[in-house]
Structure 1
Amino acid sequence: MVRRISTYRLVQSFTAAIFLTLFYFSISPNSSISLPKYDPLGRPYCERSLTFVLSDHYDFSFQILGLVNAMIYAEDTSRSFFLADKKWNYGRWNSFFKRLHKPSCVRPEHPDMYAQFPSTPLGPDELRETEAKFKTASHVVMDQWSWHLLDKHIETVYHNVSHSPGISAYENIFKAQERVLRKIWHINKEIRGLIHRECDLGELPYARSKTTKDNFYIALQIQRVNHIGKYIAAAERVLERIPEIRDEVTVFVNAHTNSSHARRRLMKRRPDWKVFVSFENDFQFRLDDTASKKNKQLMAYDLESRVDFGMAHVTDITLLAEADHLVCTFGTPMCRLVALLKGFKKLRSTTSIDRKWFPTLYPLNGYNEVYNPHKAYWNKRPRLSDGNGKKGGRKGGKKGSRKNGKFRGS
């Protein structure tokens, strides 16, 4: 005999099952936390947010670059942007940047609501799972462990690989960074004029067509100068110490060659230059042997010529105020910026250099290395010979060969 189940008991069983399921999820530690729409003060909670963490573990420029990319990422993903700090010196920020406007909504207070990278190394599978969680999470925290996700986003969305190799492929990246920098960058009147002057000197010839050279130039600077923060932190101290600095600026040339014949020829043609030799393999540098020990001690080196993964570095910028001579390379706008800002009487820069010889030099100014690293570009660009005719893109031939050791493009 088949026993029939009444409709009442069937509905009762379904109700009990639903109740038990909801009760299980309510006590489960892995359950999602539902937030009220408003905090105790009546402010609405953000539906999606990004919190960027500043810390003293990295230099100023690296964090500013991450900050700019984070603000772009927040705009692209419709997230409210928040800035957090861990014992960070806001004095440097207030001197050169505007205060960020806080969103009208409030971040969730519960830590389980945030997606944050662990501070321990992750395996390939764990890394993929964590990155996928970041993309779908409503609230994320960006710190030094997760900044590479910002680079991936910028590279994927804004890098136009359809363009020919060169600066045009990065145009959209610059425009996005410029849009963000307009909101936070506060440019001093003197510095703005000097930035325009740098553009006119030919450091950034493509920037002449930009209506906002200021922010465009700073965007490029943040991209290519890893220690720009040292300049920003020390600029005001340099200005205070300017009476102690001699009014002489010496051109400091990075010949980027190991050919002794090429070096002697360069020194003979330009005896007033201080030749500085870099070795491409291990990035070790040494001053020209003819320089005296006394001069080595007196000179403060603002070296923007050590290349690391295509980026240029500035070192010892704080020594500028203590030096008897300022030594600037062709690719050091920061050094010349300090010199021009204080009105040195003697400034020998690229404006007084014979243009016939200027293209033969190889300035490590970060622009060519980062944005034109392709061999096809180097084939067209004249540079100093290395003595064996192989470096610089063009092989063999009379110019730059081992036999005559001439300059390329001379």
Structure 2
Amino acid sequence: MAGTFNDLLMTAGIKPADVCIIRHHTPERGKDFATLHDLWRADAVGFTRYQATQESGRPLFRQRKIWAAFVCPAPDETMFIGLFDATLSETRKADWLCDYRGDEPGDGEAVDIFTTQPRADLAEHAGVLRVDWPSENRRSWARKAEGLTLRISAQQPATPAALLTGDALVAALERHGFARTRATKKLVQLRRGDLVVYVKRETEARPLVIHPHFVDIAEELRAIGVEVPVPARSYVNSNLRAFPAYHADHRATEGRHGFAVGVGATRLGALLDLLERSATIPTPEGVVRAVAPEEDPLTERERLQAARVGQGEFRDRLMIYWNGACPVAGVDHAALLRASHIKAWREATNAERLDPFNGILLCAHIDALFDRHLITFEDDGRLCISSSVSDENRSRLGLEPAMRITGLDARHGEYLAHHRSRFQP
């Protein structure tokens, strides 16, 4: 077993001299969370934005392309939460409030805004590995890795060696109150209230399939010891009938998709608790389900309530994913940007309305064209423009047939295919 955190880095083939150590800790209580550890556990999007926003011009953050992040579950406890590739995106005044303190980042001055992506290296230690932070550096929170000795004080495998599989997993779910609702030779569907899961009977690799909405909390799942694919991605199977449809140009037929994970007996309860918490949205009139089977009979009032509350989260996720700028026009003024649904809100399921891969961050005039299906995008990002938009108006709008956007993911594919089916050539 490695003795120090730098030993772990070197075992993974990472030079400590390439790494910035960040310890997220402050004695000051936040606006909505008591600690930064609480922010990390409860709001993955908010924590990502908090970490990615740093004081302008600090060489340590700009020069070190790998960040090793830690949080403090208790005052004398320092827990590793993952490695991140960090790239400076822009330097400007933030047009949002700090997700922890609730004030303006940088006291209203320009800040460095980074793009951060989780790395697969050491992911198995995220959320479980503890280190001894030196008492003489107790007040410091950002350091060069090679100049800091962090002795490993507690370590347990993030993924238990014995994952539940097949009938054993089905039986464990039944002990947690699930009932079988459908079964084939290869797949069992189980349900507890509004929560539906599937068990793959003939495979030991991530046999539990949950709703694809939970791809968005992959890091939180990994932190509690659940095995998730890296990078997080959908599992496609036409028999996942309670989950959303999946369509891609390279597939001859429409499928269904979920999120396949692995879990041991000691972590199953924690996993189910996290899924239940993440499947609802709090509103002034109670909670609204964000994840439910496709036949879920939400009332219209519930749907409107979900839309009103969920749209803010949806926009926040698009702002982070698209780095705060329209990928077509490059406009980065937040007031001019729209969180555009690819599959229209009125046509989408409750879960699809909150899925960030059902959205593109577009400036107002591009959003108007996209909403009316006068433009659309191929899966490779190529722009398609309706012939009803004249050459003169194309010029005025800055549209060129050769334009292409970058940043699309395979999970955008089913929504883009739906949008293209309504495109007006």
| TM-score interval, normalised by the smaller of the two chains | under 0.3
- Name the structure where strand makes up a greater proportion of residues: 2
> Which structure would you say has the larger Rg?
1
In the superposition, the TM-score normalised over structure 2's length comes to: 0.24
Structure with more relative contact order (C-alpha pairs < 8 Å, separation 6 or more): 1
